Structure 1
Amino acid sequence: MKKPTLKAPKLKAPDLSSVAGGSRTGQSLLAGVAVLGLVFGVAELRSPVAPEAGATGKRSTAQVERTSLVCPPPLQGAVGSTNLTLFSPEGGTGSAGTGLLGDVTRENVIAAQAPVQPAAGASAAPSGQPSAAPSGQPSGQASGSPSAAPAPVVDARVKLDKPGVPATGPAANTDTAPGTFALATGNLAPGFTVTQTTSSEQGGASLSGTRCAPSGTSFWFSGASTDGNRVDYVTLVNADTLPAVVDLRMYGDKGLIENELATGIAVAPGSFKTMLLSGLTKGPVKDLAVHVVTRSGRVGASLHALDGGKGADWLEPSADPAPSVTVPGIPADVTTAHLVVATDSTDDADLKVQLSGKNGWFTPAGKETIHVKAGMTASLDFQFTAETREGASAIRLTPSDAKHATPVVAGLRVDRENKGKTEAAWLSGGSPVGARASVADDRGGQTALLLTAVDSDAKVRVSSSAGASGGTPAAKEVDVPAGTTVTVDGIDPAGLNGPYALTVQTLSGGPVLATRQLTIPSRDVPAFTTQQLRDDHATVEVPQVAADPGVVLR
């Protein structure tokens, strides 16, 4: 049998001229449709593109490119002077960045949102390229239109030039000085930190220090008071371009304190408000926990305490409520300490109390536990003598029953005494330094670094930067046994001139909490302030992605 011969049919191109509306435009549109049909026809026959190697959903890390911080209004006028110190550790990559600090005003806040402008006189076009302006018109100005308004510029109070060297300057010297905000971009953004320190004579010599923090929507402070000679107040600073509405939720030993004046507090962009707690608690309350929470917008929140001539300082914001809390930074020569624990939970909290010692965590006699009722505060007092002190220390609170773990926050007032004169600082529940943490405004011969290993042995690297006006950076590795607090000595840079910065990096082992203690005695008063070093979150996780044209067919 003869095999049949198969011939492919001859295809004739369609005559588009016979199609209604077959003008040149119509023909072009139909031709375009035909081409798209071919493209998608091919796409339908192809399997989706396989993801590139390594792009299978795993995350990678990238450095932050912009960091913003907010500082409270300074204590100024006749009672004190305030310095602000900026620092970025070395190691940041990318383009040369900008670091600055300015007052929180509406104009500055708006200017901070604008991209960085080229230096005055810089040409927008490469050398040798023709101007984009039409002939006869000035370069950069469109024909027949007025010149564009220059971009707003932040009125900077302090500028940071490069990583590894701090910059310092004074705050506004008026009683109505606003808060400040700090901004770092490019290679200055990773690890950027700012410290505000005030030397005050109000009611007696004292130091008030605080680490400036990012704007947020929730802040906890434990250990405030409106009892006796206490004058405590909250500052709310809005360094954003959107308005904020804030509530102050105050908890005492009898529960939540209701007051309409503490709710719906409006803070306009580029402004701040100060709220005196004694006007909100409806009477003296010895032990207060304050939860600053926003209904809308973001603010920088701080709380300052003044106890007559017995001491003053900013309260450290506490870590978020958790079943277990560690409060680091108890000085080696502490005389008394007052612990305030709070919960906003509907359940009571029963907690074991431990102190870090030379051989690890131990339970203080007569202070073994603390019971915190639901939605209330509870307190515990400690007395220390030369015989009972074991050097610098920390307090750890853990659930008495692991099956009944209630989230709490904690704050600790610590007092030092010399020749009958006292000074106080307020510590808080802390968080580990993580990969790296820094603190600025350290002073030669007046700085101590306290390291506490919470669960297991750890090793860290402690680095001291050059001073703001000179000095040789230094570094050393430190072992921290589990349950102990180690005081690091010999950390001042050689040839120091001006304030410097400390950086702690975790090398191995378990989590480490770190605090910087700055002591500047004045007329026999052991004036001091303590700040925690917290993870600088210099990197963020980003998902890996791959191009996949097949996604249009799914």
Structure 2
Amino acid sequence: MHERTLPTQSPDGTGSPAGTTTRGSSALPAGKRRAGTLAGLAGAAVLLAGAGAVVAAGALLPAPESSRTLPAAAVAVPAGESLGVCPGPARLLEGTEAGTDPQFSPESDTAASSVTAAVLGASGILPASRLSQLDGTTAVEIAKDPGQPPAEGARQELLAGVVANRPVDQATVLSADAVANQQATAGGAMKYTATDGDLQGTAAANCLQPSNDQWLTGASTTVGRTSVLVLTNASTTPATVSLELFGIGGQIQAPGSRGLLVAPGTTRSVVLGGLAPGEARLSVHVRSAGGPVAATIQQSVLRGLTPGGVDFIAAGAAPAVRQVMTGVDIQDPAGVSALTGRNGYQDAGPALQITVPGPSDAVVEVKLYGRDGEKTLPSGGVVTAKAGSVTEVSLAGVPAGHYTVSAASDVSFVASTRVTRGLEEGRPSDVAWAASGFRLGSQHVVPVPQGGLRQLVLGALDTRATITYSAITADGKVRAPSTADIAGGTTASIAVPDKADDADVVGYVVSAAGDAAYGAVLVQQDGRNDVSALAFQPAAAGQETVPVSINY
């Protein structure tokens, strides 16, 4: 992260030196004044003549070397620290006035939150890394400074530094230092579970890199739906955050949505119902000046007295003409249809939400890829999404199973997919939002939260893709790789075992070759309706270069 100092103005706001004044001419005899005036005019004529000569001469002389523009040179940018902000536990909103920060009541008796993370190393060297609190206090030291990096040509055998199921009660920061001018490869996830209270269910979220620009889609502020935007500033620079809100009817002008100050090392929560009440579909564009922030939305549902689920809505891919979401679990279509037809359960089924930030409508083609190939939506799969608003496309009606959702248009948009579990009215259910993901490349660290049923869900779009995945275990070993060959236009699911060679599985190293492929971790609980989805995050960036030009 680089800090920038803005120029300041002088105290009086002018370019004049402070304390200067202008004085009038003194009284002189008339003759002397006239003589002085003539002498001044003659002097001015000489100066003008001299100036003309200088201008003429300057026009004939070649330009000095300092006025030339030098060609742009590529300058290496030092690799920075790998940083991921893990959200804190879900909290029950106790009460607030519109436009103010919220207050929270204690969690339920069974609520538990933990962080699982892994940092990748090679040749016996792990980057200096740690899990810290926002105030900088180290909660877990993963690895100390390794000193000299391994020599070039050394065997690059992988190993990992691991945090396994670490209990947390607040937001935390996973950080790893660069090694040999290469950004460290790391990944973490926070998991919340509860089996009682209004916030029962499972909610998991990746530890995300802070940003100055991000989109979150899937919030709702209608009766029984609570959306709390959580802004975390893990930097040493104050962040001034502005929010752009988009609903069904277009962009929402909300007083109090601009100039939100988030101090360094702090978290600020904003109740979105105070800014945009009664919105069934709400997307938030978060922009910050100064320090970057990590943004998540704690979304919960309460249908009367029946809990309807809790989730952390995370930022997805930036606006683009194609968005892909995988880890989408769809239940029996007949059961979904019967449940969503009941009063208060309209949002209890799977759906794609599309937000078009630009001035032009988007004609979006939606495709679902399942285990056996593409499945046709009853609606046909083509929808016009209005500019500046949020459009919802139901995904109900296809056979039950795991899917990858692809949405494409000639106009940039953002998207997210709602995943639901539970088909009985009056019984607790759960909800999750699958954020739009990133195309898989090389050596993604994929954390796997501990406990429950975990699956890697992998989707290939047009042609065949080959996915290589190696388990990371709690003893710091990276196990022998396995390979999944996925046909184009299909989705494959791989069950995550509890252990590999008697050590707990805490994550995977995943690489892809061939056509565009995407992945997510689907987290569920045996015997319960709990569900959560974690999109694979981008791999670590290598050393970058930027063009720098110098001129006068």
**Distance (Å, rounded) in 2 between the aligned partners of 1:222 and 1:252:** 10
Question: Is 1:70 the counterpart of 2:85 in the alignment?
Answer: yes
Amino acid at match of 2:219: A
Residue of 445, 462, 472 corresponding to 1:455: 462
Equivalent residue for 1:269?
A: 264
Which residue number corresponds to residue 159 of structure 1?
Answer: 141
Question: Given the alignment, which residue of 402, 407, 413 partners 1:408?
Answer: 413
Quick one: which of 87, 92, 102 aligns to 2:132? 102
1:307 aligns with 2:301: yes
**Unaligned ranges ≥5, structure 2:** 1-72, 92-105, 145-158, 337-348
- The answer as to whether partners of 1:221 and 1:289 remain within 8 angstroms in 2 is yes
Q: Which amino acid aligns with 1:329?
A: G
Closer, same or farther: CA 544–276 of 1 in aligned 2, 3 Å: closer
Q: Classify 1:203/1:544 alpha carbon distance in 2 versus 1 (closer, same or farther; 3 Å).
A: closer
Match of 2:445 among 438, 442, 445: 438
Compared CA separation, residues 444 and 494, structure 1 to 2 (3 A): farther
Find the aligned partners of 1:337 and 1:351 in 2 and give their Cα distance: 18
| 1:518 partner amino acid | V
Q: What is the match of residue 501 of structure 1?
A: 507
Task: Judge conservation of contact 1:358–1:390 (CA < 8 Å) in 2.
Answer: no
- 1:74-93 to structure 2, matched below 5 A, reads 74-75=89-90, 77-79=106-108, 80-91=111-122
Q: How many residues align?
A: 425
Aligned-pair CA distance for 1:528: 2.1
Q: Secondary structure at the match of 2:379?
A: coil
Q: Is residue 234–residue 275 contact of structure 1 (8 Å, CA) maintained in 2?
A: yes
State the 1:474 CA deviation: 4.3
Instruction: Give, in angstroms, the shift of residue 333 of structure 1.
Output: 4.1
Tell me which residue corresponds to 2:370: 357
Deviation at 1:530, TM superposition (A): 1.0
Q: Output the CA distance in 2 between the equivalents of 1:445 and 1:473.
A: 22
Contact kept? 2:456, 2:496, Cα under 8 Å:
no
- Three-state SS of the structure 2 residue aligned to 1:389 is coil
* 1:367-411 C-alpha deviation (Å, 9 max, x unpaired): 422211111111122324xxx416311221122xxxxx2111111
Rounded Cα–Cα distance in structure 2 between residues aligned with 1:380 and 1:90: 43
Could you say which residue in structure 2 is the equivalent of 1:260?
255
Distance 1:469 1:261, change over 3 A: same
1:425 to 432, 456, 481: 432
Shift of residue 297, structure 1, vs aligned partner = 2.6
Shift in CA distance, 344/472, structure 1 to aligned 2, threshold 3 Å: closer
Distance 1:544-1:461 versus aligned 2 partners, 3 A rule? farther
Q: Distance in 2 between matches of 1:221 and 1:472?
A: 33
TM-superposed CA distance for 1:497, in Å, is 4.2
| 1:193 pairs with one of 187, 191, 213 | 187
Task: Please give the secondary structure, in 1, of the residue aligned with 2:314.
Answer: coil
Q: How far apart, CA to CA, are the structure 1 residues paired with 2:483 and 2:514? A: 13
Structure 1 distance, partners of 2:390, 2:226, is 19
Instruction: Considering fraction of residues, name the structure with more strand.
Output: 2
Is contact 1:166-1:501 (8 Å) kept? no
Once the two structures are superposed, residues 428-464 of structure 1 have per-residue CA deviations (whole angstroms, 9 ceiling, x without a partner) of: 2221122231221344772100001123211010111
2:502 & 2:537 partners in 1: Cα distance? 25
Would the aligned equivalents of 2:187 and 2:207 in 1 still touch at CA under 8 Å? yes
Q: Distance in 2 between matches of 1:193 and 1:287?
A: 30
> Cα distance, 1:255 vs. partner?
1.0
Q: Is the 8 A contact 1:342 1:408 kept in 2?
A: yes
- SS of residue paired to 1:88: strand
CA distance, structure 2, for counterparts of residue 474 and residue 161 of structure 1: 23
Deviation at 1:535, TM superposition (A): 1.9
Percent identity over the alignment? Answer: 22
Shift of 1:318: 1.6
Which deviations, in whole Å up to 9, do the C-alpha atoms of 1:499-532 show, x marking residues without a partner?
A: 51122111x21111000012224xx422121101
Of 344, 361, 369, which aligns to 2:357? 344
Once residues 323 and 277 of structure 1 are traced to their aligned partners in structure 2, the CA distance between those partners, rounded to angstroms, is 28
SS in 1 for 2:416: strand
* 251-260 vs 163-172, which moves further: 163-172
Give the counterpart letter for 1:298 in structure 2.
Answer: P
Aligned residue in 1 for 2:525: 520
1:215 and 1:67 map into 2 onto residues whose CA distance is 10
Q: Does 2:211 correspond to 1:180?
A: no
- What secondary structure sits across from 1:293 in the alignment? strand
1:426 counterpart letter in structure 2: W
TM-score by length of 1: 0.70
- 2:309 paired with 1:278: no
Between the aligned partners of 2:498 and 2:480, the Cα distance in structure 1 is 8
Q: CA deviation at 1:288?
A: 0.7
Please state how far the C-alpha of 1:228 moved relative to its aligned partner.
2.4
**Pairwise CA distance, 1:475:** 2.4
Deviation at 1:202, TM superposition (A): 3.7
Distance 1:351 1:168 in 2: 41
Indicate how the Cα distance of structure 1 residues 209 and 431 shifts in structure 2: closer, same or farther if over 3 A, else same: same
1:529 to 525, 529, 532: 532
8 Å Cα contact 2:118-2:188 kept in structure 1? yes
* Aligned-partner Cα distance in 2 for 1:270–1:517: 31
Aligned partners of 2:371 and 2:505: how far apart in 1? 31
Q: Indicate the larger mover: 371-380 or 330-339.
A: 330-339
Cα deviations by residue, 1:34-88 (Å, 9 ceiling, x for unpaired): xxxxxxxxxxxxxxxxxxxxxxx8999x994621222223236432221112201
Give the distance between the partners of 1:377 and 1:310, measured in 2 at CA.
Answer: 22
Q: 1:316 matched to which residue of 2? A: 314
Gaps of 5+ in 1: 1-56, 109-154, 400-404, 546-554
Distance 1:172 1:437 in 2: 24
Q: Cα RMSD over matched residues?
A: 3.0
Question: 1:215 and 1:528 mapped to 2: Cα distance?
Answer: 25
Distance 1:491 1:65, change over 3 A: farther
Question: How far apart, in 1, do the equivalents of 2:228 and 2:242 lie?
Answer: 14
Q: Distance in 1 between matches of 2:292 and 2:139?
A: 23
